[in-house]
Each structure stands twice: as C-alpha cells, then as structure tokens.
Amino acid sequence: MSAVFDILVIGSGAAGLAAALHLANHGKVAVLSKGILSDGSTRWAQGGIAAVLAETDTHESHIKDTLAAGAGLCSPKTVRTVVKHGRHAIENLIKAGVPFSKYTGPDSEYEFHLTQEGGHSRRRIIHAADMTGKALQETLESKAQSHQNITLFEDHMAIDLISGRHLENPVKNGRCYGAYVFDIKNGHVVRVSAKATILATGGASRVYLYTSNPDGSTGDGIALAWRAGCRVANMEFNQFHPTCLYHPKAKNFLISEALRGEGAYLRLPDGTRFMPDFHKKAELAPRDIVARAIDHEIKRFGLECVYLDITHKGKDFILEHFPTIHERCLEFGFDMTKEPLPVVPAAHYTCGGVMTDLKGRTDVKNLYAIGEVAMTGLHGANRMASNSLLECLVFAEAAASDIVNNLSNLSAPPNVKPWDESRVSDADEEVVVSHNWEEVRRTMWDYVGIVRTDKRLERALRRVTMLGKEVQDYYGNFRVTKNLLELRNLVVVAELIVTSAMRRKESRGLHYSLDYPDLLDQAKDTILKPK
C-alpha cells in the first residue's frame, strides 16, 4: 500500500501539530502518531511556556538565564532567535484558544498569571494552571482534526525514512522522500511519500529504566535520522527531572518545577533543607544541580527518596495553583497540603538530538527536525525549565515557513519500492524483545545515569553493542512489531548516548564524570557522524 502527500509530519505533539497547522493551507499534510494523538510528552508538561511577556522582563534577561543554564554550550544566535519569537508564539496560542491562567491580583503587569521556575531570574512562565501541556495539546488537536488538509494517522509508526536507494530507479542524492510506516493495528507496512518530511517525534528518555516520559519516548526520530545519514550532537546531555513522585504505582508522574518556583523546599527525612548547601539559588538552581544534589544526598545517607514540602504555603494557595497535582497525589495516598511529597530524580529530557539549522533543516535534503528530537543549540548542556515548549512552537513555524517558501520548487516524489517481507517470518519468541528491552534500559540506568565514570561507560558500551547486534539480527529475520521497532531505535540511541559521554572529557551541565570533574576552558559540541 502507498499514499502520497505534500508534507509528512512524524509526531503529533506540540511541535508536530503546530507545524501541520502552519502548513495546512499550503498543501496536503499527513501526521503520524504512534498511538493516539495525545500519547506524546506534550500533554504531560505541567509547568508552562517561558516567554518575555511582562513589562519588567526583557529579552536580554531571558537570553542571559538560558545561556547560564546551558553551561557554555548554547548557540547565542539560536537562543536570541527563540527568545525574540516568544511573545509571537504565545499570542498565536491565545488566539487559538489555549486557556492560560489569568492574573487575579492587584497591579498586574500582564493579563495572564506568570510564575517562576528554576534558572529563571524573573516570572515569565505562562501556564494553564498546572496542566499547560494538556491544554496546549487539546487545543492543537482540535484545530488539526477540523482542518480538511490534515490527515491524522493514529497507531502508525515510521520504520525508516525513504531515501534515493529505496526508489524504483535508485539514486544517491541525499534526499528524503517520506517514510515506510508500520500500521500497528493492521500489521502491514505502508509507503508514505512526501515532498518534505518533518521529524517531531520527541525525545529518548525511555532509554532509562526510570523516567517521567510516556512509553513512546524511545528516540524514534533520532534513530531514523541517524540511519538516513544525519549527524546528531550532544547526546550525553540527558536531563533528569529532580522531582518525580516516589511510589511503586506512580509510573512517570513528575512533580512540577513550578512548586519550587512558588516556594516549595527540598528536605531530608528529618526535615532538614539541603539545597542551600549546593547552590546560592537553593531550590531554584538549574535542574542539573538540583538533580545531582538529590542524587548525592540519597547516596550519602542510603535513602530511597527525599521530600518536597510546600505545606507552609497553605491549603488555599496549593489548591489554587496546583489542583491537578494535588488530585493525582491523593490518588497515591499523599495530601500535599498536609505532608511533604517523596521524590526522586528520573530521566526527563533529551537535550541533544538531530542537528538542525535555524529553519529546522537537517543534513538530509527535504528532511526537518523540530522539538525535542532536534539539537538546535537552544539548550546547550542543560535545558532551562519551560524553554522546551517554546522551542517546539518557534521551530514549528520556522520549518513550516521554509517548506512553504520552497514547496513549489519540490517535485512530486518518484516511485518507491514496496516494503520487502519475502525473507522474514513471524517471530517465534517475543521474550527476546522484552528481555533486551529491559536489559538496555537497566544498563543505561546503572552505568550512564546522573553521575558517570569511564569504567561505567565502558561496561555500558560493551553491553549496548552486544544488544544492538542481537536486535539487528532479530529485525532482519522476523516481521516487524511495535515493540521490536522501538527496541531497534532504543538501542541505536543508547549507543549514541554512551559514545557521546565517552568523548566528553570534562564535567559540564548534565554530564558529570567522577573521572573528569573539572570544566575545560573551551566548550565544544559532541558531534557524531554516521559511517
């Protein structure tokens, strides 16, 4: 089976849907979602979107804060571009109907409520209570579902990007023509051809055993782009959210940074605060510092967790600002108005990814990458809170604009070879997939976590390389399944992370090595090129 569109968008979160909506008046757009549209990370974003909105705030302040959090590795040009487009992005969302929380106090500088999060020197986080991602996702979904030029494919997963070698008349021209797509429910592979393709697949935090991310965050877009010939960069910078709820049934429930922005304290079991010992901003220090401090205290005292305490702010304040978090915590038996919440760090955000320019263009022609899948230079060695959704929105519009400007010059995709299943059979033992899935994630958690050493990384590389060979052999002999495709991508991403971490001989931002605790004089990106 085959289908032809003007633009193929792989991913249905904020970046993918925003791009599709910008493009929909200029051509036929297909949007792929691995599950239902809202299965991605966007809907789980609690805090908000960072942008310069208040009269007392400035672009220079937001730029300075972002550069400081990025530990010398941000691209100043990218940071300036994104920050300057912030207000425009927010105004578009307000017009679209995103229900941001209004300001109810006296002497308002801005009609909507702004909060402050770690690394920010001002209140500049616009939010929809404590469920900003859900409000944003639902608004974009509604717009996309009602647009006649957008076709939404749920339960469809990209297997590989279509390049010149996949054409009926093969060529070597470094172009992308769409993707081979697995129809998960029906179990067959579809050829989806397009003049331009956008990767908006999110990050790769499911490569770790414990993560705040939904199950689909398996680095699909990074692996797709790598196999297609794109460079990736800075994969060693994995952000661990400092405060995920510690409970056996709380699979991936993070406690928003906004709690600390509104005055919550981190405490040891005896009630002692510890963050003032680690950073002058205490609980408002950048995420890497907070996560490492928690990890240090847990290991120092042999704890299972630490505690996040906002009880001193009072019940009314908590219920007004954090109604959703309060309700979810009650489901797990915790009343945050009366008691501190047990928390631990968990893998949260992939700061590296597919290298792009300021228009979202990758090394492969007609292939774009936007959102968490991309390495634009905005985050550097550590993402600052609430800059991620802003990046999604700004680069979605930038990529869409570039595609629109060039769409008339792009020819219709040539004939693509059918997917070949003639030499494979149904899998005889699915346990191989589930076992390797567990092993790669545990290996990454044990050896490539918040604190690293050369010995740990060497062990990880040996195991991941072995797993990669096993998975590729399995992939070559059996029909594809969703679990197999995700495992195939997960192993690729794991090896990229370990290789990148081994190349960085210093401690910077989110990468902390006991063997190289010092900072090098010159900050350089870790760039990996496919062979």
DSSP string over 332-400: TT--TTTSPEEEEEEEEEE--EEE--TT-B-SSBTEEE-GGGEE-SSSTTSPPTTHHHHHHHHHHHHHH
- Whether 87 is catalytic: no
- In 3-state terms the chain splits into helix, strand, coil percentages (rounded to 5) of 40, 20, 40
The single residue of 43, 175, 191, 287 carrying the catalytic annotation is 287
Question: Quick one: three-class SS letters along 247-280?
Answer: CCCCCCCECCHHHHHCCCEEECCCCCECHHHCCC
CA atoms within 13 A on the CB side of 394: 25
Within 8 A by CB and 6+ apart from 272, the residues are: none
Q: What is the spatial order of strands in the sheet that 125-126 belongs to?
A: 49-50, 125-126, 114-115
Nearest to 446 by CA among 287, 210, 221: 210
Q: List all residues 6 or more positions away from 309 whose beta carbon is below 8 Å from its beta carbon.
A: 264, 265, 266, 267, 340, 341
Separation CA 227–CA 232 (nearest Å): 11
Q: Cα–Cα distance between 414 and 163 in angstroms, integer?
A: 11
Q: Give me the residue label for tokens 């505690």.
A: 307
Q: Give the closest residue to 70 by CA, choosing from 288, 371, 307, 331.
A: 288
Residue 465 makes CB contacts below 8 A (sequence gap 6+) with 495
Q: In 85-219, which ranges are continuous DSSP H helix?
A: 86-96, 132-145
| Residues belonging to the active site | 287
